[in-house]
């Protein structure tokens, strides 16, 4: 699971627990100027992931790490798709972050308020 916070002009994502090991990341910091928006999207888990490098993908168990699909890099950290949030980025290493959070609606609201 991931914790999403706003710290000044940055979006900060902290990867918790063993997910750090599977995702090969413990945190991500993205300038808010490069965040396009956020949506709760439980259906995204069914989308193609692409090539995993590095990370872990056990269907129905966990998707974590960096995935390459159609020339884009997407960071995943999801075990429970019902709690998935997608954060769209511009001019960053990743084109989007797909994260499992405790409360998707609160996380989307937090990001959207910070972008206003």
What pLDDT score was predicted for residue 111?
Answer: 97
- Give the model confidence (pLDDT) of 67-98 as tens digits: 999 999 999 999 999 999 999 999 999 999 99
Q: In the predicted model, what is the mean pLDDT of the chain?
A: 94
Of 17, 108, 5, 111, the C-alpha closest to 62 is 17
What pLDDT score was predicted for residue 52?
Answer: 87
What pLDDT score was predicted for residue 56?
Answer: 87
Biggest CA-to-CA distance, the chain = 37
Work out whether strand 51-58 and strand 35-40 pair parallel, antiparallel, or are unpaired: unpaired
What pLDDT score was predicted for residue 19?
Answer: 87
């Amino acid at each position: 699971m991931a914790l999403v916070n706003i710290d000044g002009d940055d979006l900060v994502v902290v990867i918790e627990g063993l997910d750090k090991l599977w995702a090969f990341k413990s945190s991500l910091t993205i300038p808010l100027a490069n965040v396009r928006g956020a949506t709760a999207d439980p259906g995204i888990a069914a989308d193609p992931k692409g090539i995993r490098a590095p990370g872990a993908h056990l269907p129905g168990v966990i998707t974590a790490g960096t995935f390459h699909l159609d020339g884009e890099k997407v960071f995943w950290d999801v075990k429970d798709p019902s709690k998935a949030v997608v954060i769209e980025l511009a001019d960053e290493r990743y084109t989007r972050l797909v994260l499992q959070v405790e409360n998707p609606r609160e996380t989307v609201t937090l990001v959207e308020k910070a972008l206003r």
